[in-house]
Structures are given as structure tokens and as C-alpha cells.
Amino acid sequence: MEVTIEQLVATKTTATVDSGVPVAQMASNPNTDPQLLRQFAASKNWDLRRLVASNPNTPTDLLWELGIDFPEVILTNPIFELLQLEHLDLATEIPHATLTSLLQCDRVPRAFMDYAVNQQDYSLWLAVAYNLQTPSALLKNLVRKSRRQDRELVRAVASHPNTSTHLLAEISEISSSLAQIVAKNPQTPLVVLQKILHKYGQTNSIFRILMALHPCINPQLLMQMNLAPNESAAHSLWLAKQLTTDSTQLVELAQTNWDVLRLAVVCHPNTPTEQIDRLWLQIKSQIDRSTSNQATVEAVPEHRLIYDSFIGNANTSAQLREKLRKLLQW
């Protein structure tokens, strides 16, 4: 039975080879000849290549090649666990590009993360820092290794859900911009938020907005920290920050003159697209009146926060996203 690469490139996974067996079935069959799997892997058909990546009979070198595009599939391939048992230092044998992809997956072995952090390799460090499963001890090591000089790496750690309270406090002391990222982290505890507000809140109003929007700041704290104009507004903001708040309630909450409450509605995943568009027209009008002499968005940090909030909501329309990209000079 011969199957040319040219035929496989043009075929669909529902097609059959000479024997009448569907291509997809052969690509996933653990008894398929490794050389035939190599031919399947040369196909431009994404689904076919994924099946080869999941096949335990796929040659190891081909697995690593496919692992660049299908890291999660490689990690769930039955042969991967056997490879770990046979090669105690398996991470050292994996090509760099593949290892970088694997490190971004939830299922990546802890040993791979340990290996990556111990290398003097920036791309591996970033992959570990952006993995939401990375434990706090490794995040701490990454910040120490970077000597706090690399802003992208430290930013990733500052926004990570597993970063310890002590490390979040330490990062917030480095600069105002990093303190903003710490303040945006939903896992940042009240004690760190209070320190940030005390250090930066008097000179930069964006920190008062970030504090008010943080999920751990309840109505009582909003009033105690002077972050809300009155108790009614504080309770409305608290409601706008709850994931259980439905679209009807959010539309009602949007009928406010308090910009922080409007922004909370903009950020909520249940806010309808039409309401987001209406809020944009209201907020953009205010921005235009207040920044007629400002050349760029970066000139007013609060405005960058507003634009990022609109972009960050999956319900924001494609048309509005395009407008925001132009405003941000993307």
C-alpha cells in the first residue's frame, strides 16, 4: 500500500487510502506503521496531524516536531508517560521550540518547569511565568533570577493567580506601572491593595479606580476607603462586580453618572453588546471633552484603562474593537 505525500496533502480526514480504510482511522491506529505516520504528519491537514500527534506509535522525534503545534495532545499521548519513565531527564532531550510550547500547557510536568527555571533561557522563563499552573515558589525564583529588571517577566508574575502575598507586595514597590498590574490581579489580598493605595493613591487617581473595581473590595470597604460617593453607589458597584449579575441588572446599573460604576459594567462578561456600545459613546464623549489637547492615549493613564476594559470584554463588537485599535495605534 503506497500513499504519496501529495495525495495526503490534498485529502480530507474522511478520505480513504488504497485499502479502503479511512485516513483518520489509520492515523489514530496504534498499529499503523511509523513510516506511514510520518507521511500523514507531512499533510497540511491540521486534524490529520493532530491524530498523528495522539498516536502512541508515532516516532519520538516526530512527536517533538508535532508538539510545537499540538503540545496538549502530546502530553495526553499514552506514550508520553512511558517516555518520562524511560528518560528521567526527558526535558533535556526535547527540542527548544517544543519544550516552550509544552511549558504553556496546564498538564506540563512540574519537572519540566523546574528544569526551565534553572536554565538561563528567557523564552523558557516567560513560558513558565505565563502558565497559570506554575506554583508560587517557581514564580518567586523567576523574579529573583530576572533581578527585577525584566518588565515583561515581572509583569507576568504580578498578574499570576499563584503569586504569594509577599511577592505581590514586593513587586508593587518596584514601580507605579507594576503596582497597577498587582492591583488588577483578582487574587491580590486587601493588605497589599491598602499598601498600594497608600503609596500611589494620593498622586495617581488610577489607583483609586483600580481599588474600587477590585473584587475583594466590598461595599463597607468602599465607604471606609472613600472610594464611593455614597452607600447606594457602593452597593451598586458591588453588584456590578458579581459574576452572577445578569444582563438586565447590568443595563439598569449602567444608567449612572459615576464613571467607575460604568467601567465595572463594561468589564462584566454578561453585559450585552448593545449596552457596551452605548457606554462607549457616553465615555468617549467625556474623554474627548477632557483631552482636547492630549496627543495620545498614553498621556492619560485612566483612558488607557478604559480602552483596555472595552477591549477585554468578549462581548465588545468587532466595529468598536477596530475603533479602539486605531485609537491605541495598534
Q: Which of 103, 105, 100 is nearest to 123 (CA)?
A: 100
Among residues 37, 31, 4, the alpha carbon closest in space to that of 18 is found at 4
Question: 17: pLDDT confidence band, cut at 50, 70 and 90?
Answer: low
What is the pLDDT, as a whole number, of residue 309?
94
Grid coordinates belonging to 155: 509583569
pLDDT of residue 14: 52
Average pLDDT, the chain: 90
pLDDT digits (tens, 9 = 90+) for 223-237: 999 999 999 999 999
Q: How far is CA 256 from the centre of its chain?
A: 31
Is 131 within 8 Å of 105 (Cβ atoms)?
A: yes
Residue 248 CA to residue 261 CA, distance in Å, equals: 15
Structural Rg of the chain based on CA atoms:
25
Q: Which residues are paired to 22 by β-bridges?
A: 16
Which pLDDT belongs to residue 145?
84
Q: How far apart are CA 73 and CA 300, in angstroms?
A: 44
For the stretch 157-181, pLDDT in tens is 999 999 999 999 999 999 999 999 9
* Exposure string for 209-247, b = 16+ CB within 10 A, e = fewer: bbbbbbeebebebbbebebbeeeebbebbbbbbeeebee
pTM: 0.84
Q: Which three cell numbers stand for residue 157?
A: 508574575
Tens-place pLDDT, residues 69-119? 999 999 999 999 999 999 999 999 999 999 999 999 999 999 999 999 999
Which among 119, 87, 79, 88 is positioned nearest to 103, based on CA atoms? 119
- List, in order, residues 6 or more apart from 82 with CB less than 8 Å away: none
